[in-house]
A = this chain, B = another copy of it.
Amino acid sequence: MFLSWDETVDVVVIGSGFAGLAAAIEAYNTGVSVIVLEKMNAPGGNSIISDGGIAAAGTEMQKKRGIKDSAELMYRDMLKAGLFLNHPELVRKVTKQSNEILQWTINYLGVEFMDRVDIFGGHSVPRCYTPLGVSGSAIIKQQLAKLEEMGGKVRTQSYFKTFIKDSKEKLIGLLVRNKFDYKDAECGTDIYIGIKKGIVLATGGFGSDVNFRSAQDPRLTGKIDTTNKPFATAEALKEAFKINAMPVQLSHIQLGPWGTPDENGYGAGARFSDYIVFPYGIIVDPKSGRRIVNELADRKIMSDAILNIGHPCIGITDTKAVDTAGWDINPCLERGIVKKFTTPEELATYYGISSAELKITIEKYNSYIENNLDEDFGKHILTEATPISSPPYYGIRTWPKVHHTMGGVQINTRAQVIDFNQEPIPRLYAAGEVTGGIHGACRLGSCAITECLVFGRTAGINAATD
């Protein structure tokens, strides 16, 4: 029971992924005292296992390649994919600041990016930038370095339990479990942290919380895999609801169409599908031997298409595509996630596809590439795309995995958490996957990190200075 504060601080940031660390850095920059809480025994949350791709519009890297893009076009892409359920003012902020946040990542944090601009399904043009190492850890590492430079650090094994309010319903502190152990509920001790300024909730999504996610979408039982770490659960989100944070769009849960049943979690296969098969190859239903969807459609359209087939589909591509994409696929081959074949017939036999049907499908698709028009699904034929005809050929089984939870607490453009009556909850800010409304019904690839950094910074500044 609460008697007195064990410690007092200006700002507490809960969570140490992209959003939490961006908030912590900006809060520190204002000169206030900051504590960053992380429930696990290492910082980085689920962010650290992402690909690290950032979407940004109107960048120098695009201009260099002659790619015409704008914040307005990115805004429209996000709303279209989101089925117009997105909160427009939040999308406006993310897209307007997307170029600036990429620059901040490069110039301020010192993150190094690969010399490439990728396109993912649902984006009108290539606008995705991937850090060296193709991992979110490249960004997290630099954020942590920046934090340490300032004298800050992440307090690991610190589990946020609940908010403390005074008799006038004012948010005054937190109950936190110190020396928390995820596998041992008895471990650790409770401490009370008093807050002088604000709290930033940056606790991530609930993709691994089977109870919570399947209440929202009953298809997503424990039988569906997730790309998330097991600790991506909803407990902090529920605490926010208890103090009247408005839940928004919780039932919009994104599946990653690049999942493969041949490995657990996010895995290496996801990159093979997303960067090689989807832009340059095809996805076929092994039963019919036919394509089933525009392979550059957004994640919702693609995942629903594969789920509707009812069994894993086969992603097919060739050596030229692998060379064009420029990825090392050996780790996928070594782990048996991607299979290599001398001929399309051999591939067909391996996956139980009719060779004759697959031949027709590939020939048709190759003619679409040559004519620059996909008559079946309207796929955007990329300039560098070539017919599927260069052996060896590659195949991967695809089956969607829970990837991102679009819903969460409502925020405004100042990253203030909004209550049931559409008023900001004083002292409470949020950023990242714990918030809802930015992506609507469907998040476009690599827009999450942009959003985490934009709203993380905003939340940190406002929590420290409001």
Contact = CB atoms under 8 A, between A and B. Distances in A.
A370 B443 CA distance: 45
A146 interface: no
A215 B418 contact: yes
Given A85-B216, A212-B420, A234-B420, 11 more contacts: A85-B217, A85-B219, A85-B251, A211-B421, A211-B422, A216-B249, A238-B244, A242-B244, A249-B250, A250-B251, A251-B251
Contacts of A164: none
A410 to B, nearest CB: 6
A20 interface: no
Nearest to A219: B84
A437 B250 CA distance: 12
A270 to B, nearest CB: 24
Contacts of A414: none
A253 B219 CA distance: 20
A248 interface: yes
Nearest to A422: B211
Interface of A: 84-88, 211-212, 215-219, 234, 238, 241-242, 244, 246-252, 407, 410, 418, 420-422, 437
A337 to B, nearest CB: 28
A161 to B, nearest CB: 14
B248 A215 contact: yes
Contacts of A421: 211
Contacts of A247: 241, 247, 250
Given A242-B244, A251-B249, A251-B252, A215 B422 contact: yes
Given A215-B410, A218-B86, A420 B241 contact: yes
Question: Which has the most chain B C-beta neighbours within 10 Å: A85, A218, A418?
Answer: A218
B238 A420 contact: yes
A164 B238 CA distance: 20
Question: Which has the most chain B C-beta neighbours within 10 Å: A211, A219, A244, A420?
Answer: A420
A339 B463 CA distance: 58
A246 B215 contact: yes
A19 to B, nearest CB: 21
Contacts of A238: 244, 420
24 contacts: A84-B219, A85-B216, A85-B218, A85-B251, A87-B218, A211-B422, A215-B248, A215-B410, A215-B422, A216-B248, A218-B437, A238-B244, A238-B420, A241-B244, A241-B247, A241-B420, A242-B242, A247-B247, A247-B250, A248-B250, A250-B250, A250-B251, A251-B252, A251-B407
A431 B42 CA distance: 45
Question: Which has the most chain B C-beta neighbours within 10 Å: A234, A238, A247, A422?
Answer: A247
Nearest to A253: B85
A373 to B, nearest CB: 23
A86 B219 CA distance: 9
Contacts of A86: 218
A87 B241 CA distance: 22
A54 B409 CA distance: 36
A131 to B, nearest CB: 33
Contacts of A216: 85, 248-249
A84 B304 CA distance: 11
A230 B250 CA distance: 26
A218 B234 CA distance: 24
Nearest to A87: B218
A155 to B, nearest CB: 26
A317 to B, nearest CB: 30
A126 B251 CA distance: 31
Nearest to A212: B420
A5 B249 CA distance: 39
Nearest to A214: B422
A246 B218 CA distance: 14
Contacts of A217: 85
A218 B82 CA distance: 12
Contacts of A249: 216, 250-251
